[in-house]
Amino acid sequence: MGIAETVSDGRRLAIERPDAGAVAAVLLYLVADLTTKLLGTTVYALGFRVMGGSLTVGSLASMAVDGLLVGLAVGLAGIGLSMTYSILDFANFAHGDTVTVGAFLGWVAAYVTANLAVSAPLTDLFLFNGGAQLSASASWALVLFGLVVAALGTVAVVLVVDRLVYRPMRDSGSISLLIASIGVALALRYLIAFVFSTQTSGVATSGARLQLFAGVAITDNEIALLVVSVVLMLGVHLLLQRTKLGKAMRAMADNEDLARVTGIPTERVVRLTWVLGGALAGTSGYLLVLESGTISFNFGWILLLLIFAAVIVGGIGSIYGAMAGGVLIGLVDSLALIWLPSGLTRAAAFAVLIVVLLLRPSGIFGGVSTA
C-alpha cells in the first residue's frame, strides 16, 4: 500500500469515525514521542516541551520483557474467561478467584513436598512458614509437580462450583449468572482467607539470572513462565483447531440451540469448557506467583479487571484475541511508565479497556470468533 493511499485512508477514517481518529492521533503521538525519547532528543514548540526526553533502549527492553511476562500469564487466564463468556454467555466475576485457588493449591503442594525434610511443623508449612522458597532451576521437578496440582485441583473446584451454582441456572439470563458469579467470587476468596489467613507469603525466589542484551536480565522463574505459557497456548490452539471438541465449542459459541439440534452434547461441551478454562486459570495463577514470588488471598481478584481488559481488547470469545489482548494489556501496564507516574499505569490499562469497549466492543481484532 502506497503512502498516498495510507494517508487518504487515514483521512477518511478521521472524518467518518472522529473518535477512532482521535485514538489513532494519540497513538501516533506516543510512537513519535517514544522515538524521540530513544534518540535522546527533545522537541520544543513555542517554548513548551512537545515530546522527547531520554530513555535508554535497555530500560525500554526490560519494561517490555516485564510487560510481556505478566501479559502472557494474564492472557492464559483470559482464555478461560473468554471461553465461558462466549459459550455460557456471562461475565464470570469469579474467574480471578479461580486463579487464586489454583495458585494456592499448586503452591501448597509444591512447598510442603519440598520442605518435608525440614523440621518445621507440618501445620506451619501449609501456611508457607518455616520452609525454603522454591525456584524453577533448583527444584524444577517440584515446581512442575505443583503446576500439575494447580491445574487438576482448579479443574476439580471449578467443576464442583459449576455443578452447585451454574448448572441449575443454565437457562437464566446473563445478568443473573453474573450476579451468581459475584457470590461465588466472595465465597471462594474468603474461604481461602479462612484457611490461609490474609497474610502475604513468600514462596518462590529466583534461582538463576540470565543476562540478555543491553543490561536486560531474565530469571529462571520468568523463563519457566514464558515456556509454559507459550506451550499451553500452542496446545489450546491445536486442541481447538484439530479436534472435534474444538469444533463443537466454536459451534456452541455461535449458536447453542443450533448446536444442540445438530447433535452436539452441549452439556458435555460446557463441562469440558470449564475443565479447560479452569486448568488454564489455575496454571496462570501458579505461574504468576512463581514470577512474583509472593502469594496472598486476593491477588487474583485484583488481577480480574486486567484479565477482563485482555479478553475485551482481544474480542470476547476469541481465544487468540485473549492471548494477544493479554500481551497487549501487559505491555500497556508496564510501558505506560514511560509517560505516566508509577501510581497510574494500572489506570492506563483500564482506560484502554474502556476505550476499546466504547469504540470497538467486538475487540481490536474485529470480533472474529475463532473458538
Partner 1 sequence: MTGFEDVRDRLEELPDAALVVSFLVGIWLLLTALAFSVGGAQSANLAAGFVGSVTVLVGAYAILTLALNLQWGYTGLFNIGIAGFMAVGAYTTAILTAPVDPGAGGVPGFGLPLWVGLLGGMVMAAIVGAIAALPALRLRADYLAIVTVALSEIIRLFVNWGGVAEVQVFGKRFGTGGATGISFESPDEIVATLVNGPGQPLVTAAESVGISGPNVVNMAYGLSLLGIAAGSYWVLSRLVNSPFGRVLKAIREDETVTQSLGKDTRLFKIKAFMIGCALMGLAGALFRGSAGYISPAQFRPVITFYVFAALIIGGSGSNTGSILGAATFSALLFYLPARLGEYVPTFGQSAPGNVFEAVAALGSLDPTPLVAYTVSNVSTLRFVLIGVVLVYIIQNQPAGLLGHRNEPATSVDLTRPHAADGGEADE
120 in contact with partner 1 (CB under 8 A): no
User: Exposure string (b/e) for 331-369, b if CB count within 10 Å is 16 or more?
Assistant: bbbbbbbbeeeeeebbebbbebbebbeeebebbbbeeeb
Give least dist CB 2 to partner 1, A: 35
Residues in Cβ contact with 246 at an 8 Å cutoff, skipping those fewer than 6 apart: 239, 240, 371
Q: Which of 305, 337, 338, 364 forms a contact with partner 1 (CB under 8 A)?
A: 305
CA–CA separation, 310 and 75 (whole Å):
7
Q: Which residues contact 150 (CB under 8 A, 6 or more apart)?
A: 102, 103, 105, 106, 107, 109, 282, 283, 285, 286
Binding mask 178-197 for partner 1 (x = CB under 8 A): xxx-xxxxxxxxxx-xxx-x
Q: Which of 70-78, 213-221, 278-286, 337-345 is the region at the interface with partner 1 (rule: CB under 8 A)?
A: 337-345
Binding of partner 1 by 344 (CB under 8 A): yes
- Total residues binding partner 1 (CB under 8 A): 47
Single-letter code of the amino acid located at 158: V
User: What are the phi and psi torsion angles at 86 (to 5°)?
Assistant: -85, -35
Give least dist CB 212 to partner 1, A. Answer: 31
**Other C-beta atoms within 10 Å of 126: how many?**
13
Three-class DSSP labels, 86-106: HHCCCCCCCHHHHHHHHHHHH
> Between 214 and 354, whose beta carbon lies closer to partner 1?
354
Nearest to 311 by CA among 273, 367, 271: 367
Q: Give the x-and-dash track for 311-330 against partner 1 (CB under 8 A).
A: -x------------------
Helix (H) or strand (E) holding 26: helix 18-39
Q: Is 116 in the site for partner 1 (CB under 8 A)?
A: no
The contact pattern for partner 1, residues 64-103, with x = CB under 8 A and - = no contact, is: --------------------------xx------------
Candidate segments 64-72, 73-81, 227-235, 343-351, binder of partner 1 by CB under 8 A: 343-351
- Residues in a beta bridge with 219: 209
157 lies in the binding site for partner 1 (CB under 8 A): no
29 binds partner 1 (CB under 8 A): no
Among 138, 159, 223, 357, binds partner 1 (CB under 8 A): 357
Alpha carbon distance 315, 312 (integer Å): 5
Contact residues: partner 1, CB under 8 A: 90-91, 122-123, 126-127, 165, 168-169, 172, 174-176, 178-180, 182-191, 193-195, 197-198, 305, 308-309, 312, 341, 343-344, 346-347, 350-351, 353-354, 357-358, 361
